[in-house]
Amino acid sequence: MLVEIIQGTEGGGLIVIKDSSECDGRSLLKGFIKAALQRNEPVHVVGFEVSENELRTGLDSGAASRLVFHDGYSDPLQWLGQGKLSVQDYSAQNTRNRISQTDDPKLVTLIIDSLSWLLLHTPPTAVCQSLQELSRGGMKVKRVIALLHSDLHEQGVVGSVCHVATAVVTVTPVSGSVSGEAEPNGIVRTLQRRKTGKVSQEEECYSVREDFSVQILRDLGTKKQPAPHRKGETKQGDPAANLTFNLRLSEDERRAKENLSLPFIFSEEKKSSLLQPHSGGGRILYQPDASDDFDQEDPDDDLDV
């Protein structure tokens, strides 16, 4: 899966390379840069962490001529007043404006080295919004590849950045020995959200050669959706299997239950009969008897007052 992402078979989006102090991901980032240059894609690097010379070291000089470095390393906080790229100047619109200054009509691969510089000096919400806007494609940007030092930030900040990413590549150190011709750089856990909505994960042992080409030494397994129950696996028991009474209805009992008229539910015929108006209406008749002593002039005569 890592090789497919490096080769750009999934197209655009945001790819986050998540490393830590235990395992550096910069060599893998340069592997992404080399692969994009080999595809004749123009590469723009927004660099805050290493200088342009250090970034170009080891890359093919001919292919590296298509690499454009936006210098945020010399004066990232504008303490020297050199007027170059600063952390405060970073935004999706400013980045597009800088890319548009070049005459190359092709869509570019944008490298952010690193996101940690931005997250330490810019609100995480603003960084996530700009990443999402840039990774949508179009407007000169094909896809965005960013390096993130996960141990420099809170877990919620790292999770927010990874949430907007199309693919998250997490590098960890190798535990134990791994057989193979090349020395492994680490283990990479790749999570990819495809355009179809499917999410897949894979764990691989990788190595980066001197020319920054990435080699997969061993596939450590792919995590897929849970498989259906197979023969030989333990099934969950039926809780109603050993009861002394029956909780289920037979087909005849079910039909009888459905046809039963409940006493508190009116049928349509009874509702229609009650709602029909009747001619004449009701009357109350009163016939006085001999004991009734009713005086029209004094209605309260029978009261002892």
pLDDT in tens, 258-282: 777 776 666 666 667 666 666 666 6
Which CATH number covers residue 11?
Answer: 3.40.50.300
Strand bridging mode 167-172 / 43-47: unpaired
Is 221 among the domain residues?
no
Q: What is the pLDDT of residues 97-120, one digit of tens each?
A: 888 888 777 889 999 998 999 999
Confidence of residue 166 (pLDDT cuts 50, 70, 90): very high
Confidence of residue 168 (pLDDT cuts 50, 70, 90): very high
Is 105 among the domain residues?
yes
Query: What mean pLDDT is predicted for residues 55-60?
Result: 88
Residue with tokens 């492994």: 184
As separate numbers, helices (DSSP H) first and strands (DSSP E) second, the chain gives 9, 9
Is the confidence at residue 122, as pLDDT, over 80? yes
Confidence of residue 293 (pLDDT cuts 50, 70, 90): low
Cβ-based neighbours of 130, under 8 Å, separated by 6 or more: 90, 91, 92, 95
Is the confidence at residue 240, as pLDDT, over 70? no
Give the integer Cα–Cα distance in Å for 168 and 189. 8
Is 144 among the domain residues?
yes
Is the confidence at residue 223, as pLDDT, over 60? no
Pick 291 or 133 by higher pLDDT.
133
**What is the domain count for the chain?**
1
Pick 65 or 232 by higher pLDDT.
65
Cβ-based neighbours of 100, under 8 Å, separated by 6 or more: 140
Give me the pLDDT at residue 226, please. 44
Query: What mean pLDDT is predicted for residues 16-22?
Result: 94
Backbone φ/ψ region at 54: left (φ over 0), alpha (ψ -120 to 50), beta: alpha
Q: What is the mean pLDDT of the chain?
A: 82
Amino acid 136 reads R
Is 153 among the domain residues?
yes
Domain that holds residue 10: 2-169
Is 97 among the domain residues?
yes
Is 94 among the domain residues?
yes
Is 59 among the domain residues?
yes
With a threshold of 0.75, does the pTM exceed it?
Answer: no
DSSP H helices, the chain, are 2-7, 26-38, 52-56, 92-100, 115-121, 124-135, 155-163, 251-259, 268-275
- List the Cα angle 91/69/31 in 5-degree steps: 100
CB atoms within 10 A of CB 133: 17
- Residue 15: in which H helix or E strand, if any? strand 13-19
Is the confidence at residue 246, as pLDDT, over 70? yes
Is 32 among the domain residues?
yes
Provide the β-strand partners of residue 199. 193
